[in-house]
Amino acid sequence: MRGTSGSTIELFLRWLEEEGKSGKTILTYQQELKKFDQWLGERGVVLEEIGHDDVQEYMIHLEEQGKSPITTDKVLGVIRTLTRFLKRPDVGLDIRIKHAPKKDEIDVLTKEECESLLAEVRESRNARNEAIVLTLLHTGVRVSELCGLDLTDLELDRGVVRVTDTYGDERVIPLTDALKSVLKAYLDEVQPVGPLFVSRSRERLTERSVQYMLKKFHVNAQKLRHTFCQQLVDQGVSLEVVSRLAGHRDINVTRRYVKTAVGGSELERAIRETFSHKG
* Alpha carbons 45 and 38: distance in angstroms, whole number: 9
Kindly list the distances between the CA atom of residue 88 and the CA atoms of 48, 50, 85, in Å, as whole numbers in the listed order: 10, 10, 8
Tell me which residue of 163, 164, 143, 111 sits closest to 215, measured CA to CA. 143
Asked if residue 234 has pLDDT above 60, the reply is yes
| Percentage of the chain exceeding pLDDT 70 | 90
Q: What is the mean pLDDT of residues 158-169?
A: 89
**121 or 102, higher pLDDT:** 121
Stretch among 12-16, 97-101, 120-124 having the lowest mean pLDDT: 97-101
CA separation, residue 78 to residues 38, 55, 64, 279 (Å): 15, 11, 19, 65
- List all residues 6 or more positions away from 40 whose beta carbon is below 8 Å from its beta carbon: 5, 46, 47, 50, 54, 58
160-164/170-174 β-pairing: antiparallel
| Segment 112-161, tens digit of pLDDT | 999 999 999 999 999 999 999 999 999 999 999 999 999 999 999 999 99
From 190-194, 202-206, 215-219, 273-277, the region with the lowest mean pLDDT: 273-277
- The structural domains of the chain, ordered by start, are 2-92 (1.10.150.130), 111-266 (1.10.443.10)
pTM for the structure as a whole: 0.59
